[in-house]
Chain A
């Protein structure tokens, strides 16, 4: 039956190129091949987000008066609404974790080196988009935590030198976080970000397919010396292993959603004081704690502006890493960039723990 469909299609649209690709594509086998699975895992979790997000759209109503109540309705009245919402929330967190792990593995293996600079750039932009998804989606239930997290987050954008006020009003849809902000974040979360992400994912995957998997420097030297490196067929060997990883992720998601329901909290009240112990999502905690530690003024500059400037510089640096790391491009070891990646990882881990334990 399947063969008949393939033949039918082949007669009409010539599938020989695709058949050749499927038959020939291989994945190098070496000690670090485990890291290859993180990209596929991130993509799988993104697909879970799209699927559950579309389901949530059937009941969610954006707006300061309706949003909280509609999420309450989803989790208490809609059959399996609790499951869909919990999976959406947990999957968002696992997605960011998988994307971060993918980012660090690629950074440490220097997979960004020539000719994969554009794959890295599209990947970094996708990582930023995942964070933007997390930030914009966090406000949608319109609860106390998300309201103040959005106030702080958009306030940070407001601290950007020169264009801060413009950015703040653009994001909030006014001077304050109101229903107008919720409308904007909803549009961003369900239309603008998905459209950009889909296009970028397509570019990212196309580049990965076009250039094949990157191999560690040691394996590359082996290849250059003419020594053979074992290959695993992509279809069906590698893809089946990928699917196994997705099944494990799905099982973890289902368990988390069933045993650790995502709290809805209290409805946002713009005229209530910030509750003690307020924190953003874990992936913004390191930034949050950094802003807490920076003094009000440093060398005549407002501390928050300095912090924002520093985060902006780090983001720009991450985008251009492949163009700066010349040693990796020449196929040599690059200990400075390895140290930078390790320092970045340590900073994130230590500051996240500090933020969790701070009073």
Chain B
């Protein structure tokens, strides 16, 4: 019994990877503001996760964690309906990140968007709120 435990304990601990801790990324540059046209979006790395940066048809910038709250697929922007869509199980979110329809249980995590740099050549800076 004790021999089995002496083997099982280190093996079971070995199987589970060590915690990487909280992601240290709090802010990323998501490209040049001028490059993101109205009614379009871009997906950028935010630490180890994807973030989606959207310029609405009205020209406002919005950013969210792009991981669907249902089963973690990466969402995309639908310019025809101005909604955020997950192709895996057809989850739909509005431009506030709120669930409109489909199986996602929670809203998308929202990020703050700021512009930094010279006028006309500003960087889009996405950061945790």
User: Which residues of A line the B interface, CB within 8 A?
Assistant: 148, 151-152, 155-156, 158-159, 166, 169-170, 173-176, 178, 180, 270-278, 288, 291-292, 294-297, 302-304
Cβ–Cβ contact B49 & A303, under 8 A = no
Q: Are B102 and A272 in contact (CB under 8 A)?
A: no
Measured CB to CB, the residues of B under 8 A from A are 15-17, 20, 43-45, 48-50, 52, 66, 70-76, 86-90, 99, 102-105
A-B contact count (CB 8 A): 82
- Quote the shortest CB–CB distance from A110 to chain B (angstroms): 37
Are A271 and B43 touching (Cβ within 8 A)?
yes
Known: A271-B43, A271-B45, A304-B103. 9 other contacts (CB 8 A): A152-B73, A170-B15, A180-B17, A273-B66, A274-B88, A296-B99, A296-B105, A304-B70, A304-B71
Contact call B74/A295, Cβ cutoff below 8 A: no
Can you list 21 residue pairs at the A/B interface with Cβ under 8 Å? A148-B74, A148-B88, A151-B73, A159-B71, A170-B16, A175-B20, A176-B49, A270-B50, A272-B43, A272-B74, A273-B43, A273-B76, A274-B74, A277-B87, A278-B73, A278-B87, A292-B102, A292-B103, A296-B105, A302-B105, A304-B105
Q: Which residue of B lies closest to A279 (CB)?
A: B88
A292 and B16 form a contact (CB under 8 A): no
Nearest Cβ distance between residue A142 and chain B, in whole angstroms?
16
Distance to closest chain A CB from B45 (angstroms): 5
- In the bound assembly, the distance between CA atoms of A169 and B104 in angstroms comes to 21
- Complex CA gap A103/B89 in Å reads 29
On chain A, the residues within 8 Å of B44 by CB distance are 271
- Known contacts A296-B102, A296-B103; decide if A291 and B87 are in contact (CB<8 Å): no
In the bound assembly, the distance between CA atoms of A166 and B102 in angstroms comes to 27
Residue contact A175 to B16, C-beta cutoff 8 Å: no
In Å, the complex CA distance between A166 and B90 comes to 27
Q: Are B102 and A156 in contact (CB under 8 A)?
A: no
Which residue of chain B has the shortest Cβ distance to A175 in the bound complex?
B20
In the complex, are the beta carbons of B75 and A273 less than 8 A apart?
yes
Identity of the chain A residue whose Cβ is nearest the Cβ of B41 in the assembled complex: A273
B20 proximity list for chain A (CB < 8 A): 174-175
Q: How far is the CA of A56 from the CA of B99 in the complex (A)?
A: 44
**Residue on A nearest B46 in the bound complex, by CB:** A271
B80 to chain A minimum Cβ distance, whole angstroms, is: 12
Measured between beta carbons, the chain B residues less than 8 angstroms from A169 are: 16-17
A129 to chain B minimum Cβ distance, whole angstroms, is 19
B88 touches A278 (CB 8 A): yes
A185 to chain B, nearest CB (A): 14
Interchain CB contact under 8 A, B88 and A273: no
Residues of A within 8 A of B17 (CB): 169, 173-174, 180
Given contacts A155-B72, A169-B17, A170-B16, whether A275 and B87 have CB atoms under 8 Å apart is: yes
Is A292 in contact with B89, judged by CB distance below 8 angstroms?
yes
What residues of B have a CB within 8 angstroms of the CB of A275 in the complex? 87
Cβ of A176 and Cβ of B88 under 8 Å apart? no
